[in-house]
Amino acid sequence: MELIVGKASFCDYHSIQEAVDVLDRKEVYSEARERDTIFILEGVYEECVIIHNSNLRVCGIGRVEITRSRHALQHNEQGEEIGTFGTPTVFLGGSDLLIDNLIISNTAGQGEGIGQAVALTAYCDRAVIQNCTLRAHQDTLFTGPLPPKPKERAKFGGAEIRHKHDQYRQLYVNCYIEGTVDFIFGGATAYFEHCHIHSLRHYDNQPTYVTAASTPQGQPFGYVFHSCWLTGDENMTPVFLGRPWREYARTVWVKCRLGEHIDPAGWHNWDNRDNERTVVYQEYDPEHAHELRNTRVDWADCLADGVEQWDRRTVFGGDVFWEENSYVYK
């Protein structure tokens, strides 16, 4: 099925969630598993979009922005804080997805009264997110799965989790992602290729962190950034490449170009020295590995050789889902 969302009278629906809900009902009541497509015509869509569907393409035509303002310290109808996972502008929960040419924004901003504000929650498997822009401040992009339990709350909260996948494999290509604190975080095997990753200045100019992986113990790959570019706002406190949201965090930077905003130490242990024994933090840089070793923390690796092992096929265990989920009519 192919649906068109837009403001024009000829469009099938005027909101994205309406189109998603129609396909959701079709998926429940039909045995058909053909791929569906939602085309979104140019415009700004102020809504929350929750997608549990699988075998779905969502493609923006022109400049398409999905936006809303929702942050962790807001209260629900019961007077409770909604928490991080109640804030995403877009939630993806299925598998075999292609998300193409969208701007996804959480405009809540930052400050003591704001906290976390997620743009995209990707609780999905075999997903390709390409040519997209993700904008927020703290916790811009969450890549599921969640850790086994929260550190500070009784439960994580947020959108219903309908599908618990055996693996969470996600490919991000040609994307722009910006934020402040831990703005790429979670437990997925997520591969970022030719992505521009921009650190915004913290409102109080405090130290910030690009990643906060929570890779499950025993999972061979966590975050892999290949041929990405890291930039930052001017006159900001140095930025760390990552810190471990959970103790088995795995994050690797391969042939990436880093701006001067990156702290020479590179990595932070989240104020827990025990994490230094369990995390895997690596940089592969054939040209600058020796120089980096002089400044990086001694519990992270700076390597000149072995770049070839970090191709997509190896990281995803031979599953070439990006070919199946490519934007090609068959």
Per the listing, tokens 């994205």 go with: 16
Q: 137 is written with which tokens?
A: 């401040």
DSSP state of 143: E
Sorted by sequence, the CB contacts under 8 Å of residue 14 that are 6+ apart come out as: 5, 6, 7
Q: What is the largest CA-CA distance in the chain?
A: 62
Q: Exposed, middle or buried: residue 133 (CB in 10 Å: 0-12, 13-18, 19+)?
A: middle
> Which spans in 98-148 are helix H?
none
Of these residues, 36, 96, 100, 182, which one is catalytic?
182
* The pairing of beta strand 90-92 with beta strand 208-213: unpaired
319 included as an active-site residue: no
Cα(323)–Cα(320) distance, rounded to whole angstroms? Answer: 6
Cα(261)–Cα(254) distance, rounded to whole angstroms? Answer: 18
**Residue 50 near residue 89, CB atoms below 8 Å:** no
Q: 35 is written with which tokens?
A: 């791929």
Would you please indicate which residues are annotated as catalytic (active-site) residues?
Answer: 182
